[in-house]
Amino acid sequence: MKPPSRAAKKAVRPSALQAESLQQTRRVHASEIAEDYVEAIADLSAAQGEARVVDLARRLGVTHVTVNRTVSRLHRDGYVTARPYHAIFLTAAGRKLAAACQRRHATVVAFLRSLGIAEKTAELDAEGIEHHVSPATLSAFERHLRRRK
Residue type, 60: L
Q: How far are the Cα atoms of 22, 77, 95, 96, 149 from residue 72, in angstroms, in the given order?
A: 28, 9, 17, 19, 43
- Residues 7-26 have pLDDT tens digits of 555 555 567 777 777 777 67
Q: Where in the chain are the domains?
A: 17-148
The model's pTM is 0.77
What is the tally of helices (H) and strands (E) in the chain? 7, 2
**63-111 pLDDT per residue, tens:** 999 999 999 999 999 999 988 888 999 999 999 999 999 999 999 999 9
Sequence-ordered list of residues with C-beta below 8 angstroms from that of 75, at least 6 positions apart, any chain = 81, 82
> Could you give the angle at the alpha carbon of 87 between the alpha carbons of 68 and 89, nearest 5°?
90
Alpha-carbon span 102 to 112, nearest angstrom = 15
CATH topology of domain 17-148: Arc Repressor Mutant, subunit A (1.10.10)
